[in-house]
Amino acid sequence: MLTEETKKSLENQQYGIAGRHSAVKTCTWTKKSIRNEGVCYKEQFYDIKAHRCMQITPSLSCCNRCIFCWRDLSAPTATEWSWKTDSPEEIVQKCLEEHRKLLIGFRGNEKANQEKLKEAFEPNQVAISLSGEPTFYPKISQLIRLLHRKKMTTFLVTNGQYPDVLERIEPPTQLYISIDAPNKELFQKIEQSAHPDAWQRFKRSLDIMKTMNCRTAARITLIKGINMEDMEGYKKLIEKAMPDYVEVKAYMFVGSSRQRLAIKNMPYHEEVREFSVKLASILPDYSIRDEKAESRVVLLARNKKE
């Protein structure tokens, strides 16, 4: 899947390449937590431990080219999996090796909390959201099962382009579907998918999310001046999936997205909050539960039935 050139470019960005099509990268928040400089909003909202999190992908390839994506998009865009497939065991073993290699430098760092660092070498949370589309990997269910057997929690983020996979997937601890646009026209403009029927696939995945037997979340990435209108469109999509949580998050002007968007497209936290208040006001089953200004994110949670 990866040319030598792509591998080099990813390694220069501190990715650990784990086999033919997988990678691991130490999350900024894992580093911050090890230095006692704060934790990610998921630790605040969902009680995972950012310093014990391993951020991976089993598929560096994606079928979409989202305009706001911070990731390096040099890996191939594809709709069909045509590569030799690594086993879940190989992926987990190599990801752990690479993850530990990427953390080694903290041993000599006086700012590092050595107790936390020791725990960081034994991750118990896996964010399957690093890059690419994880449900594209043909053995995604076996991978999730293996991670759970190793007593790790799993947060899987999907763009919803493989509803057939989602329909029979091993439930992760928390399943995310990205909702980046309120309607078909904006969806095509923002996701730039290689699938001609991308909108239908996405909507079908939302229907499947409603039936999932695990915690579910929709993540809305707000791009100022592009997708912060059409509240009714977002309402329809959210009520299709009825997730436990809706994360409303600002687009961040980072990484390769800076070649496609401008800093003015990054909303302030107040604007994210304002959008979230309006959205919650038209979603009777949801209310605002929490927020983290530093990450420009607001959490809506589904009201528990009495």
Interface residues with ligand SF4 (CB under 6 A)? 27, 29-30, 40, 42, 48, 50, 53, 55, 127
Shortest Å, Cβ 137 to ligand SF4: 18
Residue 206 or 297: which CB sits closer to ligand SF4? 297
- Collect all residues with Cβ–Cβ distance below 8 Å to 26 and sequence separation of at least 6: 14, 55, 99, 102, 103
Residue 280 CB-half CA count within 13 A: 21
Token couple for 271: 């604007």
Residue 55 or 216: which CB sits closer to ligand SF4? 55
Residue 74 or 124: which CB sits closer to ligand SF4? 124
Shortest Å, Cβ 115 to ligand SF4: 17
Shortest Å, Cβ 44 to ligand SF4: 10
Specify whether the CB–CB gap between 137 and 58 falls below 8 A.
yes
Sheet holding 174-178, edge to edge: 15-17, 23-25, 53-57, 125-128, 153-158, 174-178, 215-222, 245-250, 297-302, 286-292
The helix/strand/coil state of 124 is: coil
Residue 173 or 265: which CB sits closer to ligand SF4? 173
Residue 285 or 290: which CB sits closer to ligand SF4? 290
Shortest Å, Cβ 295 to ligand SF4: 8
Specify whether the CB–CB gap between 258 and 223 falls below 8 A.
no
Token couple for 59: 């598929």
Residue 248 or 280: which CB sits closer to ligand SF4? 248
Residue 40 or 112: which CB sits closer to ligand SF4? 40
Token couple for 272: 């994210």
Shortest Å, Cβ 147 to ligand SF4: 14
Name the β-bridge partners of 25: 15
Could you count the other beta carbons within 10 Å of the beta carbon of residue 259? Answer: 8
Pairing of strands 245-250, 297-302: antiparallel
Shortest Å, Cβ 50 to ligand SF4: 4
> What single DSSP character describes residue 77?
B
Shortest Å, Cβ 92 to ligand SF4: 16
233 phi/psi in degrees, rounded to 5: -65, -45
